[in-house]
Amino acid sequence: MTATLPAGPRLERVTLAVRQPAPDLLRAAADLARDLQAELAALFVEDRTLLRVAALPITREIGLMSGVSRAFEVPDLERMLRRQAELLREQVAAAAHAGRLAWSFEVRRGDLLEQAMASLAPERAVVLGHRTPRPPAAAREPAPVTAVLDAADAELRALQVALRLAGDQPLTVLLTGAEPEARRAQVEHAFAGRGPRPRIELAPGAALPRLALARRARIVVVSGTILRADRGALAALIDAITAPLILVD
Amino acid sequence: VATRGLDLAQARRREQRLTLGLAPDEQTENNMDSPLRLPAQALYRPTSLGGLQFDSSTELEDLSGGFGQQRAREAVEVGVGVRRQGYNLFVLGPAGLGKRTLVREMLEARAAGEAPPPDWCYVNNFAQPHRPRALRLPPGRGAELRRDMEQFVDELRATIPAMFESEEYRSRAEQIDAQVSEQQEKIFVGLGQESARDNIALLHTPAGFSLAPMRSGEVMAPEEYEKLSEPERERIQTRMGELQEKLQKAIREAQRLQKEKRARIKQLNREMTLFAVGALTEELKTRYGELPEVRTYLDQVQADVLENIEEFRRPEEAQTNILGLPMGEPPSFRRYEVNVLVGDERKVPGAPVVAEEYPTYPNLLGRIEHVARFGTLMTDFALIKPGALHRANGGYLLVDAYKLLTQPYAWEGLKRALSTGEIRTESLGQAWGLISTVALEPEPIPLQSKVVLFGERLVYYLLLAYDPEFGELFKVSADFEDELPRDAEHEMLYARLVATLARREQLLPLSRDGVARVIEQAARWSGDAERMSTQLEGLQDLLREADYLARNAGAAMIGAAQVQQAVDSRARRSGRVREKIHEAILRGELLIETDGERVGRVNGLSVSFVGDYAFGFPTRITANARLGDGEVMDIQREVELGGPIHSKGVMILSSFLASRYSSDRPHSLHASLVFEQTYGEVEGDSASVAELCALLSAIGAFPLRQSLAVTGSVNQHGQVQPIGGVNEKIEGFFDICRARGLTGTQGVIVPAANAKHLMLRRDVVDAVAEGRFHVYAVSTIDDALGLLSGLPAGEPDDEGAYPEGSANFHVAARLLELALVRQAYAQMSIKIKRVRAGKKPEPKPPQPKKPDPKKR
């Protein structure tokens, strides 16, 4: 990590990868794209596993809110997926129009994480949300932006993205990976004279437990290298947090 | 039988005069020797300067409490002093007496020493917002409560969001969230692990969950499933069924946990908010500790804040938006406002004295305003506006009765407030069930006001007669005198009144003779030399105008000359119609003769009013007589141009005629009477003397002098009764005569009872003093008849016969003649009928003797 932060991160594209329309994720992605003058890309992933479940003759769907058991068929699922994809496309178009952003929309069939990681590349970010529906939660309270950094090449860009997203709000930095103490001094130095100081926590060698702490964050920014090697950790993180997850590579 | 002409009448009169031993050509037209002639001194009563012991009005003390209105003052004292229901006041009397000024002065003096009334506020009723609550507070504390509540809301809007952003709140909320989330996860994770042990996957779907058989950690493909043996498939299905039931239970449990979390978060919010709100509320409750109603209200405010915390946390989100446009203030905070209905504008200490000049229903009882928001009319307790009754509550309300009665429903509204003892503010539409939209029903406010109505006597007596509630609600009447005796004491009081007004209006002082002339004018206004008008308005105007004239003349004081100029100036300014009528007479368009003699014709006198200016002028009254059946036809009445009192006068004179001249024989007369050249309604009986004289002249065929005009009413016994407007009538005829040239024979006959009313113009008095004009005061119709005809009226002897040649002799003779003629006609008619019927004529009746007019 360098001692000082450059004027701004260089990101060409912010990709929103979701299995269903998620307005909060879209807002986070659109805000980030607008801030960074990047292209807004939307990736709607039709879950392959879910399609296989629907193809089984004995499976049924139990409603999240009603608890009622009903038939779960492939045509119904595909129809629903098409409708959700169209809805997402409209939302992305509206957000891009409002933010005067270049945008694209793509539908792929497969696994969300695989597709998200496939979209991740240097100078690109991916915005991910939880993969599964949850019972309605109370409105989120104001919470900090949390950046999880692992001393890789993408660390600086992830930190800059987190800084932009935090603005005047609190920012928490979790340092994983090697030599966290030394990197802490560098981070503090980099933030000298830049308004509110971030809260810096060290999480050497124990990425997932520490990451789990980030579940109360408003937005979680993670340098993509952390998760490239550990897909299970990424899945666990996505399932654990309610906030948008932004992967920066 | 034919109507006799003038020549015949004159010839007969000459003959009669000879019979009486009078010179045939003697014209006693000026009647200078008549005892009925009034001397010039009787025509005007000057003020005795000896009674006015001052040189300038500046020496006189102010007159407080009105001019001689002791009875009215006592009534006002009783009306405002008795603090019982119904003891409201009706102040009656003609306009311009200074009723309002005097009563207001009395009330203000009394109110200054009374305790100020409480403040009244409307606040939101949190349980029933359409029924705002009324709060009573000590004087001045309404505005204080309003300020306190504004500050209360401001502090909450700052405190509550900060509190929710505090670390304490955040950590406690996260703790609840974490606990519930963990419990939820535990349920689903446990279920997932249980299903996984049976190779069944628990998966999220777009709308919920699903269970699917697994192989090697992956969901089984359909083809693989089909290859399973039947028992295996049945086992999987059975197990999936069991898990599904557990899943449904888990979902219900998760929802219950979610609900529990919401409740715990809400409780946390209440706890946190209560800390902030409670402190503020307690502070206010301490401040208003002696006011239990306010304390109760503050408790309700606190409860409402706790129920609506979110509006304080994110007020901008609570604000309604339509099409992106903010819809004004967030409505939630309006409900904590305090609408100070009474108490804000109070500037004078003591009880209020309020005069409502435009007493409409809403101006009296208050109104509920509405504001339009996107085509919808909205209202709430803050839009309740006070009426005059609110402002006067605890004090006095002054209202003009006529204005009140002419405003729709205002009288009914006032009566209802007084009878129920409370002010109920509601729109007219609501009160009368004319609208069905949701409206406010503010809590009524107890009414403790004295209401004082001002009006004419007629209004008072009409209300008393036709409104049964009026007497119960206005138990006290203060009747203002419109005139007072003109004695030395009252003249002096009047002088002080003049001095007071001059000082108050910053006019020049009046000299003694100036004050004396004003007093004389006050007598003239009252139409009575022995009384004075209490009219203040006219007096003030006279003084102002006299002041203007005196200043123009460079005088240091207002003297009699300036007062007289002002009087004359006012008469000239208002005299356009009078001049037109006089001009029409002088040009011969209105036929009035002021010399010569005519049968059946007399100059009557009328008074007209143009605004507050009255003037008199002569009117010709004529009569015709012929054979008939006793009817005197009033032509004015026949054409519906005669008022009821006038008709009564004509009927009285008809009765007089019959009883005096035909009491023992048929009254065989048909006479007609008319006011010539009048085109409007004639009312009053002041012409009945003139009418009777015209009628007697027509019957007796003797002429009447046209140089005289006559006014007065007559009763059935021939007595002349007083009338109104005598001064104006005399002056009206005098002006016509003077314009044509005073001959010394002209004059006016007035009732003797009116002599004390005479306050004639100086020029009239001077003309009388010089013998160029005359005023006669008569007591009987015979007096008038003698003056007008130049004949002695004639007294009946013991047998009821009048002296030959007298006026009454001619009348009686003529009526007897008519009776006999009628009798002859009747007999002839019977004879003709018998002949036509083929019967023999009856024996010839004895011929009637020649009538002897000496016998009745």
The pLDDT tens digits for B17-27 are: 555 444 444 44
Contacts by B564-571 with C-beta closer than 8 Å and gap 24+?
Answer: B564/B517, B564/B762, B566/B542, B567/B521, B567/B542, B569/B545, B570/B541, B570/B542, B570/B545, B570/B613, B571/B613
B189: contact with A, CB 8 A cutoff: no
Is a pLDDT exceeding 50 seen at residue B318?
A: no
**Looking at the predicted structure, is the pLDDT value of residue B516 above 90?**
yes
Structure tokens at B632: 């005197």
Residue B77's nearest CA partner among B478, B395, B590 is B478
Q: How confident is the model at residue B404 (pLDDT cuts 50, 70, 90)?
A: very high
pLDDT at A216: 66
Q: Does B220 touch chain A (CB under 8 A)?
A: yes
Q: Are the C-beta atoms of residues A46 and A108 closer than 8 Å to each other?
A: yes
pLDDT tops 80 at residue A197? no
Task: Report the pLDDT averaged over residues A193-199.
Answer: 71
**Among B745, B744, B764, B721, CA closest to B616:** B764
For residue B172, pLDDT over 60 is answered with: yes
Min Cα separation A58/chain B (Å):
7
Is the minimum CB–CB distance between A34 and chain B shorter than 8 Å?
no
- Write out residues 36-95 of B within 8 Å (CB-CB) of A: none
Q: What angle do CA B570, B576, B577 make, to 5 degrees?
A: 120
Task: Tokens for B279, please give them.
Answer: 């402190």
Query: Residue A246 has what pLDDT?
Result: 82
pLDDT tens for each residue of B586-610: 999 999 999 999 999 999 999 988 8
State the maximum Cα–Cα separation within chain A, in Å, rounded to a whole number: 63
Q: pTM of the predicted model, to two decimals? A: 0.64
Residue carrying the six token digits 């006597």: B457
The mean pLDDT value for B637-664 works out to 82
Which of the residue ranges A148-162, B266-280, B545-559, B778-792 would you say has the lowest mean pLDDT? A148-162
CA dihedral B552, B556, B558, B560 (to 10 degrees): -100
pLDDT score recorded for residue B9: 46
pLDDT tens for residues B26-49? 444 456 567 889 999 999 999 988
Q: How far apart are CA B621 and CA A39, in angstroms?
A: 113
Select from B296, B395, B389 the least CA-distant residue to B352. B395
Evaluate whether B442 touches B497 at the Cβ level (below 8 Å).
no
Q: Mean pLDDT, to the nearest integer, of B280-300? A: 93
Structure tokens at B153: 């809301």
Is some CB atom of chain A closer than 8 A to the CB atom of B707? Answer: no
Query: In this predicted structure, what is the pLDDT of residue B386?
Result: 94
Residues of B in contact with A146 (CB under 8 A): none
Distances (CA, A) of A163 to A151, A189, B33, B325: 17, 14, 129, 33
Catalytic (active-site) positions of B: 686, 729
Pairwise CA distance, residues B125 & B294, whole Å:
12
Instruction: Choose the weakest-confidence range: A167-181, B212-226, B267-281, B751-765.
Output: A167-181
pLDDT computed for residue B384 by the predictor: 93
Q: Which of A53, A69, A141 sits opposite B212 (nearest CB)?
A: A53
Chain B touched by A48 (CB under 8 Å): no
Sequence-separated (6 or more) residues with CB below 8 Å from residue B565: B546, B549
Q: How many other C-beta atoms can be found within 10 angstroms of the C-beta atom of residue B572?
A: 11
- A11 vs B801, residue with greater confidence: B801
Q: Confidence band (pLDDT; 50, 70, 90) for B698?
A: very high
> Chain A closest CA to B421's CA: distance in Å?
54
CB atoms within 10 A of CB B524: 21
User: Distance between CA atoms of B213 and B223, rounded to whole angstroms?
Assistant: 12
CA distances from B150 to B83, B294, B320, B328 (A): 38, 15, 21, 17
Reported as a pLDDT band with limits 50, 70 and 90, residue B414 is: very high
Residue A198 makes CB contacts below 8 A (sequence gap 6+) with A166, A170, A171, A172, A173, A187, A191
pLDDT at B408 over 60: yes
pLDDT at B316 over 90: no
pLDDT for B563 beyond 90: yes
Lowest pLDDT segment from A189-198, B526-535, B790-799, B821-830: A189-198
pLDDT at A226: 67
- pLDDT surpassing 70 at residue B750: yes
Query: Quick one: which of A223, A230, A52 has its CA closest to A126?
Result: A223
pLDDT value at B282 more than 60: yes
Nearest partner of B143 among B111, B121, B175, judged by Cα: B121
Under the banding of pLDDT at 50, 70 and 90, the label for residue B346 is low
Identify any residues that bridge with A199 across adjacent strands, giving them in sequence order.
Answer: A172
- In this prediction, residues A202-230 reach a mean pLDDT of 65
Cβ-contact B757, B527 below 8 angstroms: yes
**pLDDT surpassing 90 at residue B559:** yes
pLDDT confidence band for B274 (50 / 70 / 90): confident
B356 closest CA partner among B401, B405, B410, B399: B399
Give me the helix-helix angle, B512-526 and B536-552, nearest 10°.
140
Contact: B207, A133; criterion CB under 8 Å? yes
pLDDT reported for residue B150: 93
Predicted confidence at residue B291, as pLDDT, reads 93
Give the list of residues 6+ apart from residue B406 with CB closer than 8 angstroms, or none: none
B682 φ/ψ angles, rounded to the nearest 5 degrees: -105, 125
d(CA B117, CA B105): 19
Is the pLDDT assigned to residue B327 strictly greater than 80? no
Cβ-nearest to A58 among B201, B237, B251: B237
Cβ–Cβ below 8 Å for A50 and B205: yes
pLDDT at B832: 87
Residue B645 to residue B641: CA distance in whole angstroms: 12
Residues of B in contact with A65 (CB under 8 A): 208, 255
Q: Which residues of B fall within a CB distance of 8 Å from A69? A: 244, 248
Q: Which of B542, B353, B480 is nearest to B99 (CA)?
A: B480
Interface test with B, best of A69, A78, A140 (most B CBs within 10 A): A69
Q: Are B709 and B739 in contact (CB under 8 A)?
A: no
Q: Does B629 touch chain A (CB under 8 A)?
A: no
Q: What is the pLDDT of residues B482-504, one digit of tens each?
A: 888 999 888 998 999 999 999 98
Phi, psi of B633 (to 5 degrees): -90, 125
Q: At CA B2, angle to CA B603 and CA B640, rounded to 5?
A: 50
Asked if A63 lies within 8 A of B207 by C-beta distance, the reply is yes
Give the mean model confidence (pLDDT) for residues B67-88. 83
The answer to whether the Cβ–Cβ distance between A62 and B237 falls below 8 Å is: no
Rounded to an integer, the average pLDDT of B542-559 is 94
Best of B167, B181, B199, B211 to substitute, by most chain A Cβ atoms within 10 angstroms, is B211
Q: Which residues of A touch B222 (CB under 8 A)?
A: 52, 55-57
More confident residue, B267 or A9: B267
Report whether pLDDT(B381) > 80: yes
Residues 482-501 of B with CB under 8 A from A: none
Which token pair is B614?
């009255």
- Report angle CA B231, B237, B238 to the nearest 5 degrees: 90
pLDDT category at B511 given cuts 50, 70, 90 is very high
pLDDT at B757 over 90: yes
Q: Which pLDDT score is estimated for B28?
A: 47
Is the Cβ pair B205, A136 closer than 8 Å? no
In DSSP notation, B343-383 reads SSS--SSSS-EEEESS--HHHHH-EE--EEETTEEE--GGG
| pLDDT of B663 higher than 90 | no
Distances in whole angstroms, Cα of residue B718 to Cα of each of A25, B631, B714: 116, 18, 6
Select the residue from A46, A77, A82, A141 to test the B interface by mutation, using most B Cβ atoms within 10 A.
A141
Give the contacts of B682 (CB within 8 A, at least 6 positions apart).
B606, B636, B641, B642, B643, B646, B675
Whether ipTM exceeds 0.85: no
Q: What is the mean pLDDT of residues B426-442?
A: 74
Place of tokens 């969300």: A112
What are the residue ranges of helices labelled H in B165-288? 167-197, 222-227, 230-287
Pairing outcome for strands B450-455 and B89-92: parallel
pLDDT in the model for residue B440: 85
pLDDT at A174 over 50: yes
Query: What distance in Å separates the CA atoms of residue B523 and residue B534, rounded to the nearest whole number?
Result: 10
CA–CA separation, B291 and B119 (whole Å)? 13
Q: How near does any CA of chain B get to the CA of A232, in Å?
A: 14
Chain centroid offset of residue A178 CA: 24
Residue A15 pairs in a beta bridge with A41, A126
Is residue B659 a contact partner of residue B754, using CB atoms and an 8 Å limit? Answer: no
- For residue A133, the SS3 value is coil
B222 touches chain A (CB under 8 A): yes
pLDDT at B780: 93
As a whole number of angstroms, the distance between CA B310 and CA B302 comes to 14
Residue in B418, B403, B401, B402 with CA at minimum distance from that of residue B365: B418
Confidence tier at B322 by pLDDT (50, 70, 90): very low
Whether B775 has a pLDDT exceeding 80, the answer reads yes
The two structure tokens encoding residue B178: 């974490």
A74 touching B (Cβ < 8 Å): no
For B431-438, what is the mean pLDDT?
Answer: 66
Rounded mean pLDDT of B436-447? Answer: 84
The mean pLDDT value of chain B amounts to: 86
B733-747 average pLDDT score = 93
Residue-wise pLDDT tens digits, A109-154: 998 888 888 887 777 778 876 545 444 344 444 567 777 777 666 7
pLDDT of residue B844: 62
CA A218 to mean position of chain CA atoms: 11
pLDDT at site B551: 95
pLDDT at B856: 43
Q: Which residue of B has its CA nearest to A217?
A: B174
Q: Percent of chain B at pLDDT above 70?
A: 90
